[in-house]
Structure 1
Amino acid sequence: MKRLPDRRSLATRVADLIRDEVLGGEWKEALPGQRALADRFRVSRPTIAAAVAQLRRERLLRVEPGRPSRVMRSAASRRSRPAASRTIRVLSTLPFDNLSYRSLYCFCELERRLAEEGYRIEIHSEPVLRKAHPFAMLERLARMPPAACWILHGARPEIQAWFARRSLPVVLTSAAEEGLDLPFVDFAYEAMARHAAGLLLRQGHRRVGLLLNRHARVGERRLERTLREEIEVCARADGRLFTFEQDGAPGSVERAMAQARDGATSVSAILATGTGVAMLALGHLAQNGARVPRDLSFLCCQEDPLIQCHVPDVTRYRGSMRGFARAVQRLTLDVAAGSAVRRNILLMPEFHRGATLAPSR
């Protein structure tokens, strides 16, 4: 028999989805607000209101003005045994408009891959988590229906520790803080540092600068430590690594670059940890008449479409965001399935020689 088109209204189909969630035990006492439901089902708030009105007529919900829609007690007897959660929650401490191209691409690829496995992804952007005491917000998030796994993006040490104390299923998109046994995916910064140090030393560079964010993540701090060890040990007495801390703002990067060209702390090569900082630094050099790589060699630890357009072609490490998303997906599925095996995945970027690395003069 041929299947006929589904001619029911959108509100009726959304009501079916909400009913399934209620009877499946996703919402035991009350529904989220209309805005949250609209975001979840990707429909308008009037459509959500129409769907809720239908469920009220079915005596599944009790609706009162100004209050969340409550689940009727009679619905409890109709509930089936709760199924395992098929929701994956991504928690970002940065607002969406501040996320990098790399992060946005990773989230989109991750959503597509997890959907193929039957999971629905929820992305929560909570800049308040960057404050000194984010625990009230974390407690509110914890009261949401259980998630099969949480993916933490840009999580500070106290947030990682909070999830660890509660033994919540979690995957980090950067290395876990020291002492925390949490699964993560990250790039192999220590291996990258050893490779970069070897390149620079073979080109005769002995005074090397590192543009490092003052709120650097664990992987970037390990890169700094390994780079210092390689340069100062292998080059012996004349090897020196100068760390120029900045916060990513143009003025901060400009001051760091001024230090890198000052007599006492001048360097012949610079390694930047991020593409945004790299572009600001290269712009500062061009504005001040410095020629790259004739006057200063320059390397970057990341790649994005913007830095690909720079002339001369920037020497850099190209981490595959598709590969990164694939690794996060694999680890997330393991954690969601309750795998007892602790796995940390380190990915080695591909080196792109470019045209900004030259022998020291």
Structure 2
Amino acid sequence: MKLPQRRSLTAETAEVIREMIRSGEIKQKLPGERDLAARLQIGRDTLRTALAELEKTGWLSVGEHGKRRQILKKASSKQAEHRSRRVGFLSPKRLEDLPPTMLLEIDHMREMLARKEFSLEFHTPAIFSLKRPGSRLKELVDSLQYDAWILYQSNEHVQAWFAKQKIPCMVRGLAYPGVKLPSLDVDWQATGFHAASLLMRYGHRSIGYMVPDTQLQGLFAAQKGIENAVANASGDVTLHTIVEQGTAEAVATSLHQMCHEPIPPTAIIATRSRQVLTLISWMASHQLRIPQNMSLVSLTYDNVFDALVPGISHYTMDRATIARGGVRKLESVMKGQGLDEKLLIPDFVLGGSVKKYGA
């Protein structure tokens, strides 16, 4: 799919849409205006003018409020047989809301797919809050005709639908129990186990695990690894699971409650980089310091860690390596192969945020 040029933008947009119909890239119904405008990288006013022209020339049905336009002209059979050589990236978060490390991974994947003459297109449909997203997903998948999909931070309903419909896809993350889809992710269970074991080797017997209030399988895997490490420890170890609601205020409230427990934690395992920043600022406001008053390990990495003193002990994974694994997985999926789970082991960086308890 080419993008419309700036010259005669309305006419060029109409021609691009006609070509998408001729090639079979879109079928039966036109995608929604917001989605189509984002794909073509144009404003919705320009798109609406182009669509009005296509209605007049008989390519599309007249638009009605709340209904998608029907495609009235069909692709030739020869063109329709040609695959799109496009991959869709399905996410509950907008591109600008993703963490920098994930944006870097997507950029690497775009470049690697482009070298194989594939494009990667990003979508954030309003389906992730639906308990029964099937009809909306069917419209989306049927209209776009991608060769494969990447499901990022997808909930169980979305994963289950793709699995049931046998749509070529891979989960960028972990599949839910009972959902048979190929997946690629960091081995969070092994990472959690290592982090808890490290803190216990440093003498910590009361450990906090901070987790956002979301149902992502990677978080459950990390918690399982931490719990396994605690269960295998010699002697008593107290584990505090701290669930926070995704804001700095919620993290601060959780920290306050945790520190007033009968056996408060002497070390914390964070699952999000924002938790690290809130923890540091909250402790500073209470005249507490890391690691003197609290040791800290982060299961994830953010570039801002490089500017912090002391350095944060954390786990990191080269994003180009993950992207390369994702492209290989996609190639296997499109061939009907590689339907397994692929787990990657991150590197551990020991910073100055961990000290021996009592030292």
TM-score bracket, normalised by the shorter chain, equals 0.7 to 0.9
Cα shift readout 1:219-248 (whole Å, capped 9, x = no counterpart): 2212212212212322x3322222111122
For 1:155, the equivalent position in structure 2 comes to 154
1:269 alignment partner, one of 267, 270, 290: 267
Task: Measure, in 2, the Cα distance between the counterparts of 1:225 and 1:340.
Answer: 29
Does 2:227 align with 1:247? no
Cα shift readout 1:255-309 (whole Å, capped 9, x = no counterpart): 2212332241311111101111121122111111111101111110111122332
Please, what TM-score do these two structures have when normalized by structure 1? Answer: 0.85
CA RMSD of aligned residues (A): 3.0
Contact kept in structure 2, 1:23 and 1:79, CA below 8 Å = no
For 1:3, the equivalent position in structure 2 comes to none
Contact kept in structure 2, 1:129 and 1:137, CA below 8 Å = no
Task: Measure, in 2, the Cα distance between the counterparts of 1:341 and 1:95.
Answer: 29
Cα shift readout 1:190-244 (whole Å, capped 9, x = no counterpart): 221232233212211121111122324222212212212212322x332222211
Q: CA deviation at 1:44?
A: 5.1
Please, what TM-score do these two structures have when normalized by structure 2? Answer: 0.85
Task: Measure, in 1, the Cα distance between the counterparts of 2:69 and 2:205.
Answer: 67
For 1:332, the equivalent position in structure 2 comes to 330
- Structure 1 residues 173-212: aligned runs within 5 Å: 173-212=172-211
Task: Measure, in 2, the Cα distance between the counterparts of 1:285 and 1:294.
Answer: 11
Cα shift readout 1:282-338 (whole Å, capped 9, x = no counterpart): 211111111110111111011112233222211111122222222222212221x22
Q: CA deviation at 1:167?
A: 1.2
Task: Measure, in 1, the Cα distance between the counterparts of 2:205 and 2:55.
Answer: 73
Structure 1 residues 219 and 31 mapped into 2: Cα distance closer, same or farther (>3 Å)?
closer
Contact kept in structure 1, 2:23 and 2:75, CA below 8 Å = no
For 1:256, the equivalent position in structure 2 comes to 254
Gap regions ≥5 residues in structure 2: none
2:338 alignment partner, one of 336, 341, 349: 341
Structure 1 residues 143 and 287 mapped into 2: Cα distance closer, same or farther (>3 Å)?
same
For 1:113, the equivalent position in structure 2 comes to 112
Contact kept in structure 2, 1:210 and 1:241, CA below 8 Å = yes
Structure 1 residues 10 and 194 mapped into 2: Cα distance closer, same or farther (>3 Å)?
same
Task: Measure, in 2, the Cα distance between the counterparts of 1:206 and 1:353.
Answer: 20
| 1:196 alignment partner, SS class | helix
Q: CA deviation at 1:82?
A: 1.6
Contact kept in structure 1, 2:193 and 2:228, CA below 8 Å = no
Task: Measure, in 2, the Cα distance between the counterparts of 1:126 and 1:80.
Answer: 28
Task: Measure, in 2, the Cα distance between the counterparts of 1:49 and 1:260.
Answer: 54
- Report the more deviating stretch, 168-177 or 42-51: 42-51
For 1:146, the equivalent position in structure 2 comes to 145
1:288 alignment partner, one of 267, 286, 289: 286
Task: Measure, in 2, the Cα distance between the counterparts of 1:222 and 1:205.
Answer: 22
| 1:229 alignment partner, SS class | helix
Contact kept in structure 1, 2:192 and 2:226, CA below 8 Å = yes
